[in-house]
Chain A
Amino acid sequence: MAVDMNAPILVVDDYQTMVRIIRNLLKQLGFENVDEASDGREALEKMRTKKYGLVISDWNMEPMTGYELLREVRADEILRPTPFIMVTAESKTENVIAAKKAGVNNYIVKPFNAQTLKAKVASVLGDF
């Protein structure tokens, strides 16, 4: 099935610079429909009012972390199927395993390059 390039993507990060980087990289990949949230709580509110084709989230944010957001999403019957990629500087084994157990679809360690983001988005959404 072809990837819907117009499906909205939610980028969640408390650093505006990182949101800007990911937004630009997604734009280069052909995804123009990108929304932003600065923490898990704001992301959750947006997800409850709009259906997203993909969530790309940082881990370490206040007041709600990306890990908490992931667990909330996976615990919610409606939001559960939303693909979720974690993009974070948290690179300990326990973080990766915990995210995997919580149901994350892929995991990118910061700093990352455009090729890595493209590969992970493709692994979750399919080749585009």
Chain B
Amino acid sequence: MPAPEVATKVRDAIIALKGADLKDPRLGEVLSLASQMSEAMQMFFSSIDRTLFDEMRYISSYIQRTRVEISNLRPNDLSEDRIPRAGAELHAVVQHTAEATNLIMAVAEDVMAADTSDPAAYQAFVSDKMMEIFEACTFQDITGQRIQKVVDTLTHIEQRLERFASVMGVEDAELEETLEDKRKRENLLNGPALNGPEVAQDDIDALFGTEGASMDQSDLDALFD
């Protein structure tokens, strides 16, 4: 039963009691105090009900907005179509690249092992093998297109997530380090640098004294600059 209704019932009961023929004047005082308290409680509960109602309305509209934003993310489209397709494209890239590399290397090995005793035959053989290398290199055009599709998918996901995070006011949570993260950190598994090696081979050579030069602390420090 809502609080104002309870308060009304209590007040009605007090009025009924007041109307009755009561002999003890102290009971009248108690009823008067109870009446005042009932009115005060009614105001109190009314304010609480209004606040609760406002809160519930806000939560309801927030949930509705969240549903709209999640729907705009098109999660089913992402998980059932775009992401699997991107994975398949990357898999195909790896496969084509490996096939082409193996073919080129096999051709190179054939050329290196070829009989050079007959120059004309050797030249014809090498010429044929070079054509095979050219053919193998056509993979680059296809893989380029496949990778572009994956980039488009990632851009699409990035834009949707960015909008979602912005509209919902999402902030990044602190993540606990997983076992995989821990292994990567401990084994310094950073992967290839984006724009070529972070430390050039010449600097590494200096560190290892390949050219006969030793490396002192300042050279070592220079690696950290």
Residue interface mask B195-206, A partner, CB < 8 A = 1: 011111100100
Q: Which of the candidate stretches B29-37, B97-105, B143-151 sits at the interface with the other chain?
A: B97-105
Residue interface mask A84-120, B partner, CB < 8 A = 1: 0000011111111110100001111110100010011
Residues B208 and A98 in contact, CB atoms below 8 Å apart: no
Contact status of A91 and B188, CB under 8 A, knowing A106-B210, A123-B208 = no
Residue in contact with A123 in the complex, picked from B189, B207, B210, CB distance below 8 Å:
B210
Contact status of A65 and B204, CB under 8 A, knowing A17-B101, A17-B105, A24-B105 = no
B192 at the interface (CB under 8 A from A): yes
Q: Bound complex: CA of A112 vs CA of B205, how far in Å?
A: 13
Q: How far is the CB of A109 from chain B (nearest CB, A)?
A: 4
Residues A89 and B208 in contact, CB atoms below 8 Å apart: no
Residues B101 and A91 in contact, CB atoms below 8 Å apart: no
Residues of B within 8 A of A94 (CB): 188, 190
Chain B residue, CB-CB nearest to A85:
B208
Interface size on B, residues (CB 8 A): 27
Residues B189 and A93 in contact, CB atoms below 8 Å apart: no
Chain B residue, CB-CB nearest to A105:
B208
Chain A residue, CB-CB nearest to B183:
A65
- Report which residue of B191, B204, B224 has the largest number of chain A beta carbons within 10 angstroms of its beta carbon: B204
Residues of A within 8 A of B199 (CB): 91-93, 96, 109
B187 at the interface (CB under 8 A from A): yes
Q: Bound complex: CA of A22 vs CA of B92, how far in Å?
A: 25
Q: Bound complex: CA of A25 vs CA of B120, how far in Å?
A: 27
A21 at the interface (CB under 8 A from B): yes
A51 at the interface (CB under 8 A from B): no
Residues B223 and A91 in contact, CB atoms below 8 Å apart: no
Other A-B pairs, 7, CB within 8 Å; known A24-B105, A68-B187, A91-B192: A65-B187, A67-B188, A89-B193, A92-B199, A95-B188, A95-B190, A108-B204
Shortest 5 CB-CB contacts between residues of A and residues of B: A91-B197, A89-B192, A109-B197, A91-B198, A65-B187
